[in-house]
Amino acid sequence: MSSVHSRILVACVLVGASAVAIGQAAPGDPVLIENGPIKLYRSEYEAELQKLPAEVRSGFANSQRRIAELLQRMIVQKTLAAQAEAAHLAEQPQYAARMKLEQERVLAQLRIAEVEERAGREFDANREQFIARARELYVSDRAKYATPEQVSASHILFDLRKHSREEGQRLAAEARARVRSGADFNAVAKEVSEDPSAGMNGGHLGWFSRGDMDPAFANAAFALRNPGDVSEPVLSSFGWHIVKLEERRPAHQRTFEEVRDVILADVRKRYIDDQRDRLVASIRDDPTMKANREAIDALFVPAPSAEALRGAAPPRGDAPAARTPGTPPPGLNRAAPTAR
């Protein structure tokens, strides 16, 4: 393959295409979108997903909007790449350096991905050996794996962006009075709470610790002693609430068996990161590396000084003043009438 064609192939990778050639489908690889001779394959979509962070990628398929937007971007990019190839843009001298840099960037990313994948396989193959390290981490910082006291609660909110402070307090007191008179707390939450999620969850917040919530809200929730207790109206940074306690969990220390997989996942990540960082450091700190200091220094262009930006300093004595081209000589006012 010629160097020009290899650069074109890399360019296609950069815009979301894979090594599947235009018009050729691998077995079991369906076409997702067609644009004349341009075809976007499932394998290309999967390859593009791998470029996303793992935490984004895991839930990407849950949104039809995100899938549609990604596919639209990919078919546009792939079509533009095909048009560039048809116009032989990669063969034009002004683009040669850019194409080479893009090729090197992709190849560098592939090298890093290879090192990380190999390190992950090595860790998984020797997982039992790392359990001892995970236990050491657990013993050395047991407090990190302690679960603080938690409560499960529901609330009704009156948003201060919609009400004055006094009105919000009054509405919270009225809602509390309804509950105290026998109304179902969660039914009242669905009816009057201004928490956007209350219409679906009836004000249920689930389990939380003190540090998870606004301090004023948390203090009110944790002050309730028995399931079913309802607080007085409490003002948080979000507005006025009334809070109902549902359940309480005391603080407890999680066992190593409970947190082993969590610790191992962190140890695995550190192992992979260390392998990658060692590779990069071996290149960055290579003692045989040489720098052309003269050529590098020539890249630097000092910023103009404040004086230069303001213009030359006014002349002294009888020295003639420099003036900007097109401006009148000193002493003449452009607005003054011309002598006749």
Task: Write the CATH number for 174.
Answer: 3.10.50.40
Residues 6+ apart with CB under 8 A from 77: 15, 16, 17
Q: Which residue has the higher pLDDT, 55 or 264?
A: 264
- Judge if 259 and 275 occupy the same domain: yes
Of residues 122, 150, 141, the one with CA closest to residue 262 = 141
Q: Specify burial of residue 242 (Cβ count, 10 A radius: 0-12, 13-18, 19+).
A: buried
Whether residue 46 lies inside any domain: the answer is yes
- Judge if 242 and 160 occupy the same domain: yes
pLDDT computed for residue 163 by the predictor: 95
How far is 71 from 66, CA to CA, in rounded Å? 9
For residues 156-173, one letter each, b for 16 or more C-beta atoms within 10 angstroms of the residue's C-beta and e for the rest, the string is bbbebeebeeeebbebbe
How far is 49 from 40, CA to CA, in rounded Å? 14
- Judge if 161 and 243 occupy the same domain: yes
Total of domains in the chain: 3
> Residues 236-265: pLDDT tens digits?
999 999 999 999 999 999 999 999 999 999
pLDDT band at 309 (very low <50, low <70, confident <90, very high): confident
Residue 15 has pLDDT above 60, yes or no: no
Last residue of a domain, one of 91, 108, 124: 91
> Residues 179-223: pLDDT tens digits?
999 999 999 999 999 999 999 999 999 999 999 999 999 999 999
> Could you tell me the residue range of the domain that residue 22 belongs to?
3-91
Q: Would you tell me how many other CB atoms lie within 10 Å of the CB of residue 134?
A: 21
- Judge if 182 and 138 occupy the same domain: no
**Which structure tokens are listed for 17?**
């295409």
Instruction: Specify the DSSP class assigned to residue 15.
Output: T
- Judge if 257 and 139 occupy the same domain: yes
Residue 328 has pLDDT above 90, yes or no: no
**Which structure tokens are listed for 56?**
């984004």
Whether residue 131 lies inside any domain: the answer is yes
Residues 6+ apart with CB under 8 A from 247: 151, 152, 207, 227
pLDDT computed for residue 53 by the predictor: 86
pLDDT computed for residue 1 by the predictor: 40
> Residues 128-182: pLDDT tens digits?
999 999 999 999 999 999 999 999 999 999 999 999 999 999 999 999 999 999 9
- Judge if 7 and 77 occupy the same domain: yes
Inter-CA distances, 199 with 162, 214, 222, Å: 18, 22, 25
| pTM of the model as a whole | 0.58
Whether residue 294 lies inside any domain: the answer is no
- Judge if 126 and 273 occupy the same domain: yes
Rg (CA), the chain: 34
- Judge if 262 and 124 occupy the same domain: yes
